[in-house]
Structures are given as C-alpha cells and as structure tokens.
Amino acid sequence: MPCLQRAVLLRAAAAALALGVAIGAEATVGHALAKRGAERAERDAYVCSEAARVESVVRASRSQSDGRPVLTGVVTPGRCGSGGR
C-alpha cells in the first residue's frame, strides 16, 4: 500500500510541476505578444502618419487656381483609416 501512495504522490507532484511551468510559459508568451502588438501599433501609426503627410504635400503642390485635378498615384497603406478595412 505505501508504494501505491508514493506513486500517486509522485504523479500529483509531477502534474503540479507541469502546471506551474505551463502557467509561467503562458505569462511569458502573453507579455511577448503584448510587446509585439505595441511595437506593431507604433510602426503602423508612423506609416499612416507618413502616408497622410505625403498625401497632403502632393495635394498642396497640385492645387491650382482653376481647381484641384484628380489625385492619382498616392495609395495609403492598407492599415490606415481610408484604406482597405
């Protein structure tokens, strides 16, 4: 009987250890994903602001006294407000 109890205790200890490792790994992965998401959001914001700046420069340089011609050739990136959402 004592061998049976020891085997059950060893299995329980191994399961508790595996659970602790899994929870620690989940926290680490969650932090890494959050950091990557923040970096991507920052990069997207920069890309969109640069696209808006370029578009405004192009529009300003193409404005004429008789009206603004149709703007062609400037495409905003897909993640920006006016592009493919």
pLDDT of 84 strictly over 50 = no
Q: Tell me, what's the pLDDT at 39?
A: 94
Q: What is the pLDDT of residues 14-58, one digit of tens each?
A: 999 998 888 888 888 888 899 999 999 999 899 888 888 888 877
Q: Measured between alpha carbons, how far is 71 from 62 in angstroms, rounded to an integer?
A: 8
Q: How far apart are CA 58 and CA 38, in angstroms?
A: 30
**pLDDT (0 to 100) of residue 37:** 92
Helices in 1-85 by DSSP H: which ranges? 2-62
* Per-residue pLDDT tens over the stretch 59-74: 776 665 555 565 555 5
- Average pLDDT (10-14) is 90
